[in-house]
Amino acid sequence: MTANKEPKPMKQEIYISVDIETNGPIPGPYSMLSLGAVAFDAEGNELGSFPRNFHTLVNAGEHPETMEFWNKNPQAYEETRKNLVYPADGMQDFNKWVKKFNGIPVFTAYPAGFDFTWVYWYLIAFCQESPFSFSALDIKSYVAGLTGKPYRQCTKKNMPKRWFPAAKHSHIAIEDAREQGLLFINILKEARCQSL
């Protein structure tokens, strides 16, 4: 008769809040200009940050609607063109950075459908793997599940003001990644209180 084995304790989740800036709607024909990532533990402690600006992809173009947005936000666009690295180098650095944390990395974004599509494409193209597997946590979806409200109503303007950090959205990837990460941590803490 064998003794019951205790289940192995699960590693803690590390929330990697990610924001990107691009010059078009999809990766490949267009380029990711910036990637900002900030890692948080479940208590909201910041564990590290990763900012990178990228050279554009070879033979890729610029989408006119996206560039119209940048023309209205020239200072933020200028920030994306500083200290450029090649995508292969930047994504390999990012892959290593994510893996260094002692926990399970959870890609977290708003909207995750956009940011994860780009980051996953770049990871597979330049690293042949993703430390996040195929999944990402979408903050808007999390709010819909938490509140029971229709998904389309779970926009930032309809979220409680108490969830938001003091920092405002700047369209600078590392700043927005930190702001959105803190937003998620505040929502996560409130969800835990409700489940007690």
| pLDDT tens-digit map of 134-156 | 999 999 999 999 999 999 999 99
CATH assignment at residue 92: 3.30.420.10
Confidence of residue 194 (pLDDT cuts 50, 70, 90): confident
Residue 121 is part of which domain span?
13-191
Q: Decide if 54 contacts 84 (C-beta within 8 A).
A: yes
Beta bridge partners of 16: 39, 107
Residue 23: inside a domain? yes
7 in any annotated domain = no
- Where is pLDDT greater, at 3 or 34? 34
Burial readout 58-67 (b: 16 or more C-beta within 10 A, e: otherwise): eeeeeeeebe
In a domain, 62, yes or no: yes
User: Has residue 73 been placed in a domain?
Assistant: yes
Helix (H, G, I), strand (E, B) or coil at 160: coil
Contact 91, 5 (CB under 8 A): no
Direct distance between the N- and C-terminal alpha carbons of the chain, in angstroms, rounded to an integer = 38
Q: Find, among 138, 149, 87, the residue nearest to 115 by Cα.
A: 138
Number of domains into which the chain is organized: 1
**DSSP 8-state class, residue 176:** H
Q: Could you tell me if residue 196 is inside a domain?
A: no
Per-residue confidence at 73, pLDDT binned at 50, 70, 90?
Answer: very high
Asked whether residue 128 is assigned to any structural domain, the reply reads yes
Beta bridge partners of 106: 15
Count of C-beta atoms within a 10 Å radius of residue 148: 6
pLDDT confidence tier of residue 196, bands split at 50, 70 and 90: very low
Is position 6 within any domain? no
Q: Answer yes or no: is 32 within a domain.
A: yes
Q: Which long-range contacts (CB under 8 A, 24 or more apart) does 74-78 make?
A: 76/21, 76/170, 76/171, 76/172, 77/33
Query: Sorting pLDDT into bands at 50, 70 and 90, what band is 166?
Result: confident
Instruction: Inform me whether the pLDDT recorded for 3 exceeds 60.
Output: no
pTM of the predicted model as reported, rounded to 2 decimal places: 0.91
CA pseudo-torsion sign 69, 71, 72, 77? positive
Q: For residue 165, what pLDDT is reported?
A: 86
